[in-house]
A and B are shown apart, each in its own frame.
Chain A
Amino acid sequence: MAVYKKPESMADIPLHFCPGCSHGIVHRLVCEVIDEMGIEGETVGVCPVGCAVTSYNYFNCDVVAAAHGRAPAVATGIKRSIPDRFVFTYQGDGDLAAIGTAEAVHSATRGENITVIFINNTIYGMTGGQMAPTTLPGQVTQTTPFGRDPKVAGYPVRICELISTLTGTAYAERVSVDSPAHINAAKKAIRKGFEVQKAGLGFSIIEVLSTCPTNWGMTPVAAVERVRSEMIPYYPLGVYKDITESEKE
């Protein structure tokens, strides 16, 4: 009989995330993978600016806190210094897809052997719900009070599609945590990212479609429903790049 317990690599303290937020689930998935691979002692995490800013309190591995958007550059510095260690970043959409686009794209194109966990919840959570680069057309946020108008505010960025065009990217998959089946698939993808890093194949990114009930002004249940009805159609789930598959062919 499976015993449900907290992963060893996750601190046994209450999370500060809002009820219904996906961050807790994704933190847990990352830690389950670290536990299963037995790599807590040889992993360095890099946490972002945003709602996951205090993730260093939750991950039991060594953690470096990066400036807003700079996590892939910081991870590059760490990985180049200690290449035999696992290095991952955990970043939100404002962090990775707006202020840190250059760092994300260039670490990918260099084939930097790191794993990026990318939380896409279509909003800036920490600062109270402003438009993110991933905010959907028509979505109301604090800074798009009449709904995001692409004529004024441009279009959402599809990061997996973008990053997968780069030769240095080894693995890119978009997943969701809106259902148990999707959560299991998300864990598999995260594991794949770390395996790709273990094999030294290059840059891996797992984009996780996530909820932000507080800033969406929704109940947790309605938020999960929004992921299915609005986000997945715009951000299709799936593997965008996997060089281990092309090697098999």
Chain B
Amino acid sequence: MSEKKLMKGNEALAEAAVRAGCKCYFGYPITPQTEIAAYMSKRMAKSGGVFLQAESEIAAINMVYGAASAGVRAMTSSSSPGVSLKSEGISYIAGCDLPCVIVNVQRGGPGLGGIQPSQSDYYMAAKAGGHGDFFMIVYAPGSVQEMADFAVRAFDTADKYRMPVMILSDGLLGQMMEPVVFPEITEKAPEKPWACVGHENKRKHNIVNSLYLVPEDLENSNRERFKKYDIVKAELPEADCYLTEDAEIIVTGYGASARIARSAVNAARAEGIKAGLIRPITLWPFPEKAYADTVDRAKAYLVVEMSMGQMVDDVRLATSCKRPVEFFGRTGGVIPKPSEVLEKIRELDKKYNKA
């Protein structure tokens, strides 16, 4: 199984999901993620799983809700406008404490936007995945290898915490090809005694539901869920820190932006600028410690995103606004150039690093 293969990010994610035990995939065509559905339609036929092209994104997420209620590992994927439509279902899934995986291969917005890569759904993923008091766990892959790795982790994490997990990718990572080695599958899906599969007259009936008509009951349910979120926040935050030990200018970005930022950091180092990179791997919970650990030494932070600036707020919070946090972004499907990021690093170095 440790054979290296050259694959598109979307296909690597789909293959890894099946290996991780995804039994049901429900989707709807939208660029730039359609390869996931196309791959699943062939792969599920072989693995004995379910592939179903739904009539809408709304139906697809509700089919996931049904499959997750029946205790099977289920996934849907889409791109930005389609994920807006799924937000209703995501809220219900969170409100019922159901595990599932949702993939967003982001494209430019708002509205129909464009079909080129973007990162403008950070808020939707990390802050406001739907109505009501809830969060979902968000993984941000940065390579085709991580598209595969995080697909496996997403299912394990979803089952462990009984939460919806989003893989927040983008059109660049979804469409590009890189070598990938599929991870060994070590964890097995846990027993799900809460699932609605027919009680066989052996137990009281199970109910999957998010309705609480008594205000105090709903408040208690939300408080219980937020206790779980505290555990997730303690256990799960993860970031990839690159050359941050002595860094004075810390560049930070996730996914595709982080790849570009890394090139710029290397170029800055070659010029003698002490630059480093923090790449969040979990966007919720946000890896605050990675920032707190660097804040005393750093002179300034540069947030690089393919958006008008959304993660930048979390960086300001994670650094407690103790250092200047500046932003560089391209949006609408324009991919920032390493030279543009390097220029911005130089600018910050001049501005904040006068000895």
Contact = CB atoms under 8 A, between A and B. Distances in A.
A60 B200 CA distance: 11
A65 B202 contact: no
A182 B88 CA distance: 39
A105 B65 CA distance: 19
Interface stretch (B30-38, B204-212, B230-238, B286-294): B204-212
A52 B47 CA distance: 38
A81 B72 contact: yes
A59 interface: yes
B197 A77 contact: no
Contacts of A81: 23-24, 50, 66-67, 70-72, 74
Nearest to B202: A41
Contacts of A21: none
A73 B196 contact: no
A56 B209 contact: yes
Interface residues of B, number: 42
Interface string B191-217: 000001111111001111111010000
A127 B23 CA distance: 38
A241 B196 CA distance: 31
B56 interface: yes
Interface string B336-348: 0000000000000
A77 B63 contact: yes
A71 B59 CA distance: 9
Contacts of A61: 198-199, 205
Given A41-B198, A43-B198, A53 B89 contact: no
A183 interface: no
Contacts, number: 132
B102 to A, nearest CB: 14
A59 B59 contact: no
Contacts of A77: 24, 26, 62-70, 74
B241 interface: no
Interface in A23-45: 40-44
B105 to A, nearest CB: 22
A67 B207 CA distance: 14
Contact of A64 (B24, B69, B201, B202): B69
A44 B198 contact: yes
Contacts of B26: 77
A102 B59 contact: yes
Interface in B81-115: 88-89, 92, 96
B89 A62 contact: no
A64 B194 CA distance: 11
Interface string B20-58: 000110100000000000000000000000101011101
B69 A59 contact: no
Nearest to A85: B198
Interface string A90-132: 0000000000001101100000000000000000000000000
A42 B197 CA distance: 7
A66 interface: yes
A76 to B, nearest CB: 5
Contacts of A6: none
Contacts of B201: 40-41
Nearest to B71: A81
A54 interface: yes
A79 B50 CA distance: 11
17 contacts: A40-B201, A60-B205, A62-B198, A63-B206, A64-B196, A70-B65, A73-B62, A74-B63, A76-B66, A77-B66, A77-B68, A78-B196, A79-B66, A80-B66, A81-B70, A82-B70, A103-B62
Interface of A: 40-44, 46, 53-54, 56, 59-67, 70, 73-82, 85-86, 102-103, 105-106
Ordered nearest first, which 10 A-B pairs have the shortest CB separation?
A77-B66, A73-B62, A77-B63, A62-B196, A106-B55, A74-B66, A65-B209, A77-B67, A81-B70, A41-B201
